[in-house]
Amino acid sequence: MSDPLKDALALTGLTTVEELIDMAKVGSSLMEAIDAVTSPVSLIEGWSPAEDPAEIVGDLYNLFEESIACHKADLERLKAAEAALAARQTKAIEDVIAERRRQIEGEGWTAEHDDGHTKGELAKAAACYAHHSTTTETHREAVIRTGAFPLFWPWDSEWWKPADPRRMLVKAAALIVAEIERLDRAAAKAEAR
């Protein structure tokens, strides 16, 4: 047996070379575990800090530049998607959305208010406006002149506001959206119970 092995056996108190080899394996595994725990953690895959502070700053700057480039690319993709969506959104859809917003913000017909109309009032009002848009111009003018309102109009006559056929259809569509939203909220509440 060589002197270094004898010295190692004597130092460890072991009696055989096999025991010494087993202890070396345990020590090696222990060192790997210690290195794994004590090595610097990389927040970015494949990156580890350099020893030189100037190099660290350079690395961080490069990572920052890459991040900005990625965000710019994401922003461009979002802008393209928004433009594509806007191209598909017609003036009619924009007008219905604007009317719904006007009903909420201008008239105060909020979700809470609409939730009180549980007997189909919103849909009935939409139907009245839609039907009135199909009548002749002479009939529409007579309705406006006399202050008449549809038999199935669900509210007081002061809320019947006839207009030209397109405007009536925009109002009808916005009221249909309001009724759909009300039905969705009611279903969600029922499901939550």
Q: How far apart are alpha carbons 130 and 162 in whole angstroms?
A: 10
Per-residue pLDDT of the chain (193 residues; tens, 9 = 90+): 667 777 777 777 778 888 878 778 877 777 777 666 666 555 566 666 666 777 777 777 788 788 888 888 888 888 888 888 777 888 999 999 999 999 999 999 999 999 999 999 999 999 999 999 998 888 888 887 887 888 899 999 899 898 999 999 999 999 999 999 999 999 999 999 8
CB within 8 A of 44, min separation 6: which ones?
63
pLDDT computed for residue 187 by the predictor: 95
Shared-domain flag, residues 75 and 114: no
Shared-domain flag, residues 128 and 150: yes
Full residue range of the structural domain in which residue 84 is found: 44-88
Shared-domain flag, residues 55 and 82: yes
